[in-house]
Amino acid sequence: MCYMIILSWALFYLLFSFSSTLPWASWDNTWNTDNCSTVGKNRTFNRTEQSNSSSAATEFWERRVLSISGGIEELVKVNWEVLLCLIAVWIICYFCMWKGIKSSGKVVYFTATFPYVMLLVLLVRELTLPGALQGIVYYLYPDPERLLDPQVWMEAGTQVFFSYSSCVGLLTVLGSCNTYNNNCYKDCFMLCLLNSCTILGFMAHEHGKPIAEVAESGPGLAFIAYPQAVAMIPLPQVWAVCFFVMVMLLCLDTEFIALETIVTSVTDIFPRVLRRPRHRGLILPVFCLFCFMMQLIMVTEGGMYWFQLFDYYACSGACVLFPSVFQTLAIGWIFGAKRLCDIIEDMTGSYPNVIFRVCWKYITPLISLVTLIYYLVDLKPLTYNREYLYPGWAHGLGWMLALSSILMVPVWAMGCLWSAKGSFRQRWLYLVSPDRSLPLKTKGRNSGSDLICADGSNVNSNVKKNKKANNSLNVIFSSYKSFLRYWVSG
């Protein structure tokens, strides 16, 4: 959900980028205050020459785009311009994927590669700016003291989950579109290779400040820091258009793939109904409309507070780290690292290196668990702009959003164990065995079929009975789980 709001902001900025004078580069607009300042030619200008002045880019962001209120409970009114932008980006997203993975897959060829072209163009331009070397050194040179800070490593670990879209279902859904003998070994290697800032130096040069005081995080980096820097270089409209087009394509690329996840998951649950001609065209607009209605609160004057609440609790942190612990333990110890290696060999003809088994069983579960524990111990109250403290009921609502996905792991497991037939051991062994419908060869099939229960019977003797018993429960839990996957991912 958060990506569509970012898209609407980016479209709002893109439209203003065609102005003869960029509105975030001047301080004589109706939304500016007496403390507004602009930067240019190594000097800072403001109306009153006060030390507590705010930049024109900051005031455009907070007073023009967000029209931000005094707190999360003060919704006041809807920002109609941002609302129209939100409607426009939802329409674009819908037509990018209305024909399914084939159409969205073709769009990805453009949306995933064009941003790299734009980044290269922006990099070349920024290398010519004064202070660019200072930005490169700040970006690439490590601070040994910061490397000793556990918070840095926790953020790095969280970023790995975010950048690889782990634990939210995206990779599972996209992988299901491949053939059984697709070389997943090679795909994973290429994904890690491809996934694995000079403009800050220019801004520091113009401001005469250290880079640490110029650089920002979150939405402020894209909608305050960079627009402010663009306004200080020649032909600012050209570079502003390039930057916000790149931001839109990056968000679109992520959004309609995330949307494809929920649509594909629901379609797989009800294949006889939803895989019929034109039936997909019914569920997609309904789901898009539902998400759009849920986002209306984020285009009000208090919408930024709600956006940050969703982003902090429902899109990152515990709701991603908690499932990661269970998933790594399930793969490495319950399903079995050796059994997974056998299946990969059956699919690709290549047996995974021993280092993968070590990672699946020990390293990855340990890192995931340590990261989760540190996150919970070091959890700090949510604030906006380091000044506004969220009320208690907002934190409670945030944890409800997080727990809605966290609790699905134990609830799903207990539900499956309860609905299966046989003794507890039979149920357990059945649920951790490979699906019998997989086209496994002898080695891969034996890894899941030669499981003998305590009473001497084979664990797969109750497969048909268990599948029938689990069917109704799976429909309910899969629908809810699929919705939460999309909710968390964006």
Strand partners, 36: 54
User: Is 195 annotated among the ligand-binding residues?
Assistant: yes
The answer for residues whose C-beta is within 8 angstroms of residue 44's C-beta and 6 or more apart is: 37, 38, 53, 207
Q: Contact, 68 vs 220, CB < 8 A?
A: no
Q: 168, exposed or middle or buried, with CB in 10 Å at 0-12, 13-18, 19+?
A: buried
Q: Which position has the token pair 């453009």?
A: 110
Q: Is 250 annotated as a binding residue?
A: yes
Question: Regarding beta strands 54-55 and 36-40, do their DSSP bridges make them parallel or antiparallel, or are they unpaired?
Answer: parallel
Report the alpha-carbon distance of residue 248 to residue 223 in Å, rounded.
Answer: 12
> Rounded CA gap, 174 and 261, in Å?
8
Cα of first residue to Cα of last residue in the chain, in angstroms, is 4
Cα 200 to Cα 216: distance, rounded to the nearest angstrom? 10
Of 422, 431, 429, 432, give the one whose Cα is nearest residue 462: 422
Distance (Å) of CA 146 to CA 149, 162, 204: 5, 22, 21
- Residues in the annotated binding site: 163, 195, 250, 253
Annotated binding site for Na(+): 163, 195, 250, 253
